Amino acid sequence: MITATALVVSYFSGPLLNFGDFSRYGKSMGEIRRGNRWGLPFNFLLFSVVTVVIVSGTQSLFGKMITDPIETVSRVGNDLAVAIGLLTMITATIALISWLTSSRRPSIFPTARRRKSASVPAG
């Protein structure tokens, strides 16, 4: 139960902390609410189902439940499968970091431009 609670808190903490960055360019509050109402629960459900299926599958494949994705990939025993698994994890990490960085960038540069132009004296 503690693990499930920690998973829910960790899943929603990122969007909660970055809500201002992600909602800044929304056309209306109704659009933002609709996106949150459908996007967050759907993605959470999909993530949870995939996680439960993979972790439950380790019980029948390896004889014990493995919750660490890297340990799961390393136990496969096939070098090609391990390479594909690691490449998938690396690609997912890079994609997530790139997406989060690019979604914040438009909100950083206008502020820097305003500060610079505000410090230049007129005339």
Report the pLDDT value the prediction gives residue 64, as an integer from 0 to 100.
Answer: 92
Q: How many domains does the chain have?
A: 2
Contacts 24+ apart (CB under 8 A), 42-45: 44/8, 44/11, 44/12
Do both 73 and 62 map to the same domain?
Answer: no
- pLDDT per position as a tens digit, 51-75: 888 889 999 989 999 988 888 888 8
- pLDDT per position as a tens digit, 9-24: 887 777 777 777 767 7
- pLDDT per position as a tens digit, 81-116: 888 888 988 998 888 787 767 655 555 555 555 555
Give yes or no for residue 117 having a pLDDT over 60: no
* Domain assignment of residue 102, given as a range: 68-118
Do both 2 and 60 map to the same domain?
Answer: yes
Q: Name the helix (H) or strand (E) containing 41.
A: helix 29-62
Do both 54 and 82 map to the same domain?
Answer: no
Is residue 123, in this structure, part of any structural domain at all? no
Do both 59 and 81 map to the same domain?
Answer: no
Do both 74 and 53 map to the same domain?
Answer: no
Is residue 109, in this structure, part of any structural domain at all? yes
Please state whether the predicted TM-score (pTM) of the whole model is above 0.75: no
